[in-house]
C-alpha cells in the first residue's frame, strides 16, 4: 500500500513502539487559502493539481488531546461528544491513526473546534494539523516540519498548511509518492492585514470538499483552465504579499475564489455551495468597493464568506456587518 510505504519512510529514523508521554496536546489554526487548490492528481495521497497559498486564522482552530487507553478501539470525541465510529469524521481519524501508530496502541482522542465543523471554514485542516503535532509529541518522534506537513496532508490536504501561523505556501510537487508535496511558512509579516469571518451557515456540507473536487475535475467543462489560472494567481498573490500591495492581494484572491466556484457550477450536476445569503453578501461587498471602501472576499467549499481588509477600515466594516468576527493574523 502506497500510503503505508510513505509513512514507513517518513518515520524510519524516528519510530518508537511505545508512547513517550502519558498524554499530549496541540493546537493548530484553521487556514484560508488566498490562492486555492481544487482538484487532486492523486486522491489517496492527497496530492494537489496546483500549489496554494494560505493565511492562518490565528485563535480560530482546533485543540486536540491524546491519551493511551486500555481498550480495543480508539475513542474519538468532538466538541465534548463521543463520536460514533461509523461517522465519516471518526473513520478518517482512525484510518490516519492506523497508518502511523504501532499495532495495539489505542488512543482516546479529544478534539475541539472553535470554528464550525465541515462548513467551509477549514476545520478538517486544523483538526489533522493538531492531531499530527499531538501524535508527534506523544510518540516522541521529533519529526522535522517537512515530514509533519506530509503526514498532515495524508489526513486532509489543506492540513499541511495549518501547522503554522501567518502566510503558508503548499508546493504542488512532482514525485509520484508525494515526498516533495508539503507546505512551508513564508517569512512575511503584514501587521495591518485583517480577515473577517461571516458565518452564513454552520450546517455540515451535503457534499464534502473531497467529493466536490473529484466531481468537478471529472465533469466540469471549465476545469481545464483552472490549473494555469491558479498558478498565475498564486504568483501574483505572493508578489502582493512581498510588496504589501493590498489591492493586488484582495483582487487576485477574490478572482481566484470566484473562478474556483465557477468550475464547480460548470460541473454536472452543478455543485453550488452558496446560500442566498452568500450571494447577497457578495453584492454588499461589491457595493462597498464602489463606494470607496477597499474590502474583498474569498470563499472555500462552503457558504461562509471571508473578508480581506486593512485595520484602518475595521470599525466601518464592523458597523456594517454586525456579526463580523475579525482576525488579526499577525497580532500576538
Cβ atoms < 10 Å from Cβ of 242: 11
Residue 186 to residues 72, 93, 135, 168, 238, Cα–Cα distance (Å): 42, 29, 25, 5, 9
Residue 297, pLDDT above cutoff 50 = yes
- Measured CA to CA, the distance from residue 68 to residue 97 in angstroms comes to 12
The CATH number of residue 250's host domain is 3.30.70.890
- Mean pLDDT is lowest, of 62-71, 201-210, 279-288, for 201-210
- Give CA–CA dist 155/88, Å, rounded: 12
Residue 113: give its domain's CATH number.
3.30.230.10
Report the number of distinct structural domains present in the chain.
Answer: 2
Mean pLDDT (whole number) for 204-211: 87
pLDDT bucket at 117, cuts 50 / 70 / 90? low
pTM of the model: 0.94
Tell me the sheet residues that pair with 27: 63
174-189 tens-digit pLDDT: 999 999 999 999 999 9
Rounded-to-integer distance, Cα 170 and Cα 275, Å? 29
With respect to residue 27, please indicate whether it lies within any of the assigned structural domains. yes
Q: Is residue 332 in some structural domain?
A: no
Domain presence at residue 198? yes
User: Is there a single domain that holds both residue 44 and residue 110?
Assistant: yes
Residue-range definition of the domain harbouring residue 172? 2-185
Confidence band for 118, pLDDT divided at 50, 70 and 90:
very low
Q: Specify whether 178 is located in the same domain as 258.
A: no
Could you tell me if residue 250 is inside a domain?
yes
Amino acid at each position: 500500500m502506497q500510503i503505508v510505504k510513505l509513512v514507513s519512510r517518513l518515520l524510519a529514523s524516528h519510530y518508537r513502539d511505545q508512547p513517550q508521554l502519558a498524554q499530549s496536546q496541540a493546537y493548530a489554526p484553521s487556514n484560508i487559502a488566498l490562492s486555492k487548490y481544487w482538484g487532486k492528481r492523486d486522491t489517496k495521497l492527497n496530492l494537489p493539481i496546483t500549489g496554494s497559498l494560505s493565511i492562518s486564522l490565528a485563535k480560530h482552530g482546533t485543540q486536540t488531546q491524546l491519551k493511551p487507553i486500555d481498550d480495543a478501539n480508539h475513542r474519538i470525541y468532538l466538541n465534548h461528544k463521543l463520536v460514533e465510529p461509523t461517522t465519516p469524521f471518526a473513520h478518517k481519524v482512525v484510518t490516519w491513526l492506523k497508518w502511523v501508530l504501532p499495532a495495539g496502541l489505542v488512543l482516546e482522542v479529544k478534539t475541539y473546534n472553535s470554528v464550525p465543523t465541515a462548513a467551509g471554514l477549514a476545520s478538517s485542516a486544523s483538526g489533522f494539523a493538531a492531531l499530527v503535532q499531538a501524535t508527534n509529541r506523544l510518540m516522541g518522534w521529533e519529526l522535522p516540519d517537512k515530514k509533519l506537513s506530509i503526514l498532515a496532508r495524508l489526513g486532509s490536504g489543506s492540513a499541511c498548511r495549518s501547522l503554522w501561523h501567518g502566510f503558508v505556501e503548499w508546493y504542488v510537487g512532482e514525485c509520484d509518492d508525494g515526498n516533495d508535496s508539503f507546505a512551508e511558512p513564508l517569512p512575511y509579516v503584514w501587521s495591518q492585514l485583517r480577515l473577517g469571518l461571516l458565518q452564513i451557515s454552520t450546517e455540515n456540507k451535503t457534499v464534502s470538499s473531497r467529493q466536490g473536487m473529484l466531481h468537478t475535475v471529472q465533469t466540469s467543462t471549465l476545469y481545464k483552465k483552472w490549473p494555469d489560472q491558479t498558478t498565475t494567481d498564486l504568483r501574483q498573490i505572493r508578489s502582493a504579499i512581498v510588496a504589501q500591495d493590498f489591492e493586488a492581494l484582495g483582487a487576485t484572491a477574490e478572482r481566484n475564489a470566484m473562478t474556483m466556484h465557477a468550475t464547480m457550477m460548470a460541473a454536472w450536476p452543478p455543485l453550488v455551495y452558496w446560500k442566498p445569503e452568500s450571494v447577497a453578501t457578495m453584492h454588499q461587498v461589491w457595493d462597498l468597493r464602489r463606494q470607496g471602501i477597499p474590502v474583498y472576499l474569498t470563499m472555500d467549499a462552503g457558504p461562509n464568506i471571508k473578508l480581506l481588509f486593512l485595520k484602518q477600515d475595521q470599525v466601518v466594516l464592523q458597523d456594517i456587518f454586525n456579526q463580523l468576527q475579525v482576525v488579526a493574523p499577525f497580532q500576538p
